[in-house]
Amino acid sequence: MGDHGAVDPHVRDATADDVAAITDIYNQVVATSDAIWRDEPVTVADRQAWFAAQQATGMPALVAVDAGGAVVGFASFVQFRTIPGYFPSVEHTIHVADGHRGQGVGGRLLDALVERAVAMGKAVMIAGADGGNLGSIRFHERAGFREVARLPGVGRKHGRPVDLVLLQRDLPAPPDAPDGSRP
């Protein structure tokens, strides 16, 4: 994505030691936005199960860490739907800690996810954004995503309906693919 602002976080694979920080960021997003459609915080055990599932399926779980080593964001992707015909597509999640948003952390995480998806031979990356989160929608559009669907009222947050906006980015074939094809 190019220049990501003043912060230059290091992005790496998450470890079990990062799960508590991931849980804190996740719960911060739950409490302060409509980005995660749940009203109650999750436990560390819940995020440990998520992390174990990411590892078991070979899907990435990444963290962005600041110069002091503190986790300031995390990202992952999962298979988009479970029917084999969808296997070239993944849906990603990126969450950045309060106080670190708008500083390039999300962009660095997205770049790393795209790199992983391309290396895995994925063809499409999908983002699901809360319809009222114009910042997230603009972030994705700047990163080459385009809106492909708007689903009014399909979710609930704080007892009220929320809209889902699906954005899509087509990915290039892996660089080592001899004819531009995917595995």
Tell me the pLDDT of the chain (183 aa) as tens digits: 444 444 578 999 999 999 999 999 999 999 999 999 999 999 999 999 999 999 999 999 999 999 999 999 999 999 999 898 999 999 999 999 999 998 999 999 999 999 999 999 999 999 999 999 999 999 999 999 999 999 999 999 999 999 999 999 999 988 777 665 655
Predicted model pTM = 0.90
For the record, the structure tokens of 76 come out as 């992952």
**What is the rounded distance in angstroms from the CA atom of residue 145 to the CA atom of residue 147?**
7
CB atoms within 10 A of CB 6: 8
Give the tokens for residue 35.
């980005």
The interaxial angle of helices 19-32 and 44-57, nearest 10 deg, is: 110
**Length of the chain in residues, anyone?**
183
Q: For the chain, which domains are there?
A: 10-170 (3.40.630.30)
6 DSSP β-pair partners: none
The DSSP-derived string for 59-92 is: --EEEEE-TTS-EEEEEEEEESSSSGGGTTEEEE
Q: State whether residue 141 is helix, strand or coil.
A: helix
